[in-house]
Amino acid sequence: MRIVLIILLVWLSYSSNAQFTEVPERLVTCDTCAYDPVFMGRINNELTYAVTSGKKQKFITCNEAGIIRSDSFAGLHIMGPVYTIGTTFYYINRNDSDLTYRLYKWNKTDIPQNILAPANCIVPRIFTTRAEKLYLDIYDTVLRTNAMYEYDAHSEQLKKITDTAVYLAFAVGQHIYYMQADAQNGKWWRYQPQQQSKEPATGLWTEGEYLSDFYNFNNKSYFILQKDALPPALYEYDGKTVVKLANVADKGIYLPSYSYSFALTFYQNRIYFPYYFATGEKNKLYYYDLETKTSAQLLDHAKWKILMSEGSCIYRGKIAFSGISGEPGSVGRNLFIYNTATDELRKVENGHKYLNSFGSLKTLRNTLYLSIFIAEYRTQLYRYEEEWKYDNPTIYPNPATTEAYVKLGTDTTQAFILTMYDAMGREIMWRNLGTFKKGEHTVTLPLQQLATGIYICTLRGSNRGIVLRQKLVKL
């Protein structure tokens, strides 16, 4: 913890009065990591990542002020995805000494705990979750059989659901849908957790390659499926019927599931997805409108390859995704932001090349976090915020004693909220400064109750998001 505090203070010492730029800020580098950073989840407006470093696992937690804590545990190797129930993370840990897979939980306060202890039980994966229950693939090393189990996180009870192996499972509404993997019973079933009953499920196909996760939206599930030699397509399932919505490629066969996994991004009743070409020369950005039941092309740019399969998200009403630039001399992945309102695509100037792949793109309010796996076993975590182009706020004097002043300007009527964090990243002040009309304004900020130290202040406008992040020294 002492090392983490020193690193954080060094970072703070170079952050004084910093305005946002178009260069992502590197938060951490791990030079011995052979795996992508694993995004664990979002709890209480904090993001947590897992990074493998040698024989240790680092859990890195961030908020708007940056990294606020880093926890290291020996012998852990997280196999994603990670599921969150309440304020606890649940994940599969691979023990490198005996290559076994166990179910663990971590609540950000204690050390990670193995919650399924029997030596003959191996847990290769978590299928899905619903309410406070996890649905697990468990292998019995004595009987040499797989089955799906239900784990209740509240009662810590384990219940067997199937007697045979399960290939896929996902949750829609009140039900769990799963496909049994053996030849005789290879069909879809529907399980009702409250009634603890199961019945055959209609509409779903057992053949074909599923090329995406199952995304739930308005009690329906959406996924990418490739059937036979047909092009991969976007499908909708309402619990009874599968409906094809739109193709996501021009040809079939050439997209094996082990090399591509489509990422779908949902925003305001639209599903955004990349449209792939067999030639690999360029990709289009499409959306499907769930209200009008139509799809449309958003972007067809010969200079860039869209790689939303490596992660995409909605960032301040725009689509952020990874891509390969076709510009002369450009190498590796880049961060791209597409404005759906203006039909503009912008490449973020990162100051260097992302050589390998993006692990994930996640937003925390108006901050974008990028976890990146780079060549030569290097993992890096970045934070990015768009440059503020409307106001030039500041807090003065700095250092301050009993009070400081917040100077701000706005080009439209909006409210402003000030949040202050201590050197450990803990929120210690939240204040609504009021609603201001167009023009320049100054607000007094009392500091008598604050202890001497270094603080990070963020100023948020109701129309513009974060407009200032500044270090403030209290004497």
Q: Give pLDDT, residue 330.
A: 57
Q: Give pLDDT, residue 194.
A: 87
Q: Determine what percent of the chain is predicted with pLDDT higher than 90.
A: 15
Q: Which residue do the tokens 């995805």 mark?
A: 81
Q: Is 189 a domain residue?
A: no
Mean pLDDT of all residues in 328-332: 58
Tell me what the pLDDT averaged over the chain comes to: 77
Name the pLDDT band for 83 (thresholds 50, 70, 90): very high
Lowest mean pLDDT among 164-178, 267-281, 402-416: 267-281
Please, are residues 379 and 36 in contact by the beta-carbon 8 Å criterion? yes
Mean pLDDT of all residues in 155-178: 89
Q: Give pLDDT, residue 358.
A: 61
Q: Which residue do the tokens 């979750």 mark?
A: 129
Please, are residues 352 and 370 in contact by the beta-carbon 8 Å criterion? no
Q: Determine what percent of the chain is predicted with pLDDT higher than 70.
A: 75
Q: Work out how many domains the chain is built from and give that number.
A: 1
Return phi, psi of residue 342, to 5°.
-105, -5
Name the pLDDT band for 93 (thresholds 50, 70, 90): confident
Q: Which residue do the tokens 């390659």 mark?
A: 209
Greater pLDDT, 261 or 111: 111
Q: Is 130 a domain residue?
A: no
Rounded Cα gap, residues 206 and 222, in angstroms: 16
Q: Is 431 a domain residue?
A: yes
Mean pLDDT of all residues in 37-65: 81
Mean pLDDT of all residues in 310-318: 77
Q: Is 437 a domain residue?
A: yes
pLDDT surpassing 50 at residue 10: no
Encode the chain in three state secondary structure. Answer: CHHHHHHHHHHHHCCCCCCCCCCCEEEEEECCCCCCCEEEEEECCEEEEEEEECCEEEEEEEECCEEEEEEEEECCCEEEEEEEECCEEEEEEEECCCCEEEEEEECCCCCCEECCCCCCEEEEEEEEEECCEEEEEEEECCCCEEEEEEEECCCCEEEECCCCCEEEEEEECCEEEEEECCCCCCCEEEEECCCCEEEECCCCCCCCEECECCEEECCEEEEEEECCCCCCEEEEECCCCEEEEEECECCCCCCCCCCCCECCEEECCEEEEEEECCCCCCCEEEEEECCCCEEEEEEECCCEEECHHHCEEEECCEEEEEEEECCCCCCCEEEEEEECCCCEEEECCCCCCECCEEEEEEEECCEEEEEEEECCCEEEEEEECCCCCCCCCEEECCCECCEEEEEEEECCCEEEEEEEECCCCCEEEEEEEEEECCEEEEEEEECCCCCCEEEEEEEEECCCEEEEEEEEEEC
Q: Is 70 a domain residue?
A: no
CATH at 429 = 2.60.40.2550
Please, are residues 149 and 160 in contact by the beta-carbon 8 Å criterion? yes
pLDDT surpassing 70 at residue 9: no
Q: Is 336 a domain residue?
A: no
Q: Give pLDDT, residue 32.
A: 52
pLDDT surpassing 90 at residue 413: no
Q: Give pLDDT, residue 303.
A: 54
Q: Is 322 a domain residue?
A: no
Q: Is 439 a domain residue?
A: yes
Rounded Cα gap, residues 267 and 363, in angstroms: 13
Q: What is the pLDDT of residues 117-164, one digit of tens each?
A: 667 788 888 999 988 999 999 988 888 888 999 999 999 898 999 988
Q: Give pLDDT, residue 222.
A: 92
Q: Could you tell me which of 46, 70, 44 has the C-alpha nearest to residue 59?
A: 70
Q: What is the pLDDT of residues 238-285, one digit of tens each?
A: 888 899 999 888 776 544 443 446 778 888 788 888 777 766 556 677
Domain coverage including residue 416: 394-474
